[in-house]
Homo-oligomer: A and B are copies of this chain.
Amino acid sequence: MGIKSEETKNETNHALAKISRRKLLLGGAATAAVALVKSSFGEIQTAIPESLYIPADPTKVQGPPPFDLGTRSPFERPLKKTSDTSSRTPLQDLYGTITPADLHYERHHGGVPTIDPEKYELLIHGMVEKPMIFTLADLKRFPAFSRICFLECSGNFRTGKEEMMPQEIAGLTSQSEWTGVMLSTLFREVGIKSKASWFLAEGSDAAVMTRSIPLQKGLQDGMIVYAQNGEAIRPQQGYPARLFLPGWEGNTSVKWIRRIEVSDQPYMTREETSKYTEGIKGGKIRQFSFDMDARSIITYPAYPVILQQGWVEIRGIAWTGRGKIVKVEVSTDAGKTWNSAKLQGPVMDKAHTYFRYLWNWRGDETEILSRAIDETGYIQPTMKQLMEARGRDMGGYHLNPITAWRIKRDGTVLFRPEGKA
Contacts and interface: CB of A to CB of B under 8 A. Distances in A.
A354 B3 CA distance: 44
A29 B63 CA distance: 23
Contact of A313 (B111, B142, B227): B142
Given A63-B108, A114-B20, A69 B76 contact: no
Contacts of A68: 79-80, 82, 87
Contacts of A10: none
A389 interface: no
A261 to B, nearest CB: 16
Contacts of A218: none
B65 A98 contact: no
B111 A17 contact: yes
A360 interface: no
Given A59-B204, A114-B55, A208-B59, A66 B80 contact: yes
A390 interface: no
Interface in A101-123: 101-104, 106-108, 110-117, 119
A179 B65 contact: no
A288 B114 CA distance: 51
A155 interface: no
A293 B96 CA distance: 27
Contacts of A73: 114-115, 117, 232, 234-235, 239-240
Interface of A is mostly: loop
A234 B70 contact: yes
A66 B85 contact: yes
Contacts of A70: 101-104, 106, 234-237
A93 interface: yes
Interface in A82-98: 82-87, 93-98
A44 to B, nearest CB: 10
Contact of A110 (B63, B239, B344): B63
A95 B205 contact: no
A231 B64 contact: no
B177 A97 contact: yes
Interface stretch (A143-151, A162-170, A332-340, A374-382): A143-151
A373 B110 CA distance: 49
B230 A98 contact: yes
A177 B63 contact: no
A315 interface: yes
A370 to B, nearest CB: 16
Contact of A95 (B58, B63, B84, B227): B227
